Amino acid sequence: MSRSLRRGALAATAIVFSIAALSACGAGNDAQTLGVKPDNAAVTVDDVKIQNALVITQPHQGVKGPAVVSATVFNNGTTPQTLEAITLPGTTATVKLTPAAGGAGPITVPALGSVVIGGAGNATAVIENGTEAAKNGNAQKVVFKLSKTGNVGLSAFVVPATSYFKDFGPSIVPAPPGSSPTASAPAEGEHGGGEGEHGTEPSGEATTAGH
């Protein structure tokens, strides 16, 4: 066998062993083991970027109650903006915004900073008639109205407050039909210690680092 043919054979053998090794590793590492999170909606308009947008409904099928909008809003501009409202076009839903500090009113997104909506100590966006407004499995149009940028819309997945999303769901969780009433779930997107499901650690305060 010529020297060039031997080199080609050795290279082919190395590729086969590499593929086999990668396949063996993948066999024992599924998406759950690797902590892979589902991709969620994101959009950028001017200085504003909204990512990980979701509509999260009641965890129990067939139970009526509020839902929530969960997202991270970034402001890459040099002046603060106010999140004045969130709407769900095509529905009769009303969304109540509450800043991280509590009390009703708009949510301020600082210059070169971000705000997490959902999660312990963070701002919340509660859909009062969420069961009627959003259906699990749908992609619901959600519009964020900001003071400078205006309307920023995207389609957000509608998911129940289970699995990855249970700590970001509604605080009012009625008992399923035929069961005894239980304590309510954590507050709108109440989140335990550690990193948030959105890849951002909810701090309860707007951040001011640039993005």
State pLDDT tens for residues 32-62.
333 334 456 899 999 999 999 999 999 988 8
More confident residue, 131 or 201: 131
**Can you give the pLDDT at residue 80?**
97
Helix spans in 117-211 (H) = 130-133
- pLDDT(25) > 50: no
Give the Cβ contact number of residue 98 at 10 Å. Answer: 17
Decide: residue 145, CB within 10 A, 0-12 exposed, 13-18 middle, 19+ buried. Answer: middle
Cα of first residue to Cα of last residue in the chain, in angstroms, is 58
Distance, CA of 88 to CA of 121 (rounded, Å) = 24
Least confident of 47-51, 100-104, 188-192: 188-192
Cβ proximity of 91 and 57 under 8 Å: no
**Can you give the pLDDT at residue 63?**
83
**Can you give the pLDDT at residue 189?**
44
Beta bridge partners of residue 116, listed in sequence order: 72
Distance, CA of 55 to CA of 93 (rounded, Å) = 12
Beta bridge partners of residue 73, listed in sequence order: 50, 115
**Can you give the pLDDT at residue 179?**
55
pTM: 0.65
- pLDDT(201) > 50: no
> What is the percent of the chain with per-residue pLDDT over 70, rounded to a whole number?
62
More confident residue, 16 or 45: 45
The dihedral region occupied by 103, where left means phi > 0, alpha psi between -120 and 50, and beta the remainder, is left
Rg (CA), the chain: 22
Q: What is the mean pLDDT of residues 177-198?
A: 46
pLDDT, one tens digit per residue, over 130-183 is: 877 788 889 999 999 999 999 999 999 999 999 889 888 887 766 665 555 444
Beta bridge partners of residue 51, listed in sequence order: 42, 72
Q: What is the mean pLDDT of residues 86-108?
A: 89
Cβ proximity of 174 and 66 under 8 Å: no
**Can you give the pLDDT at residue 32?**
38
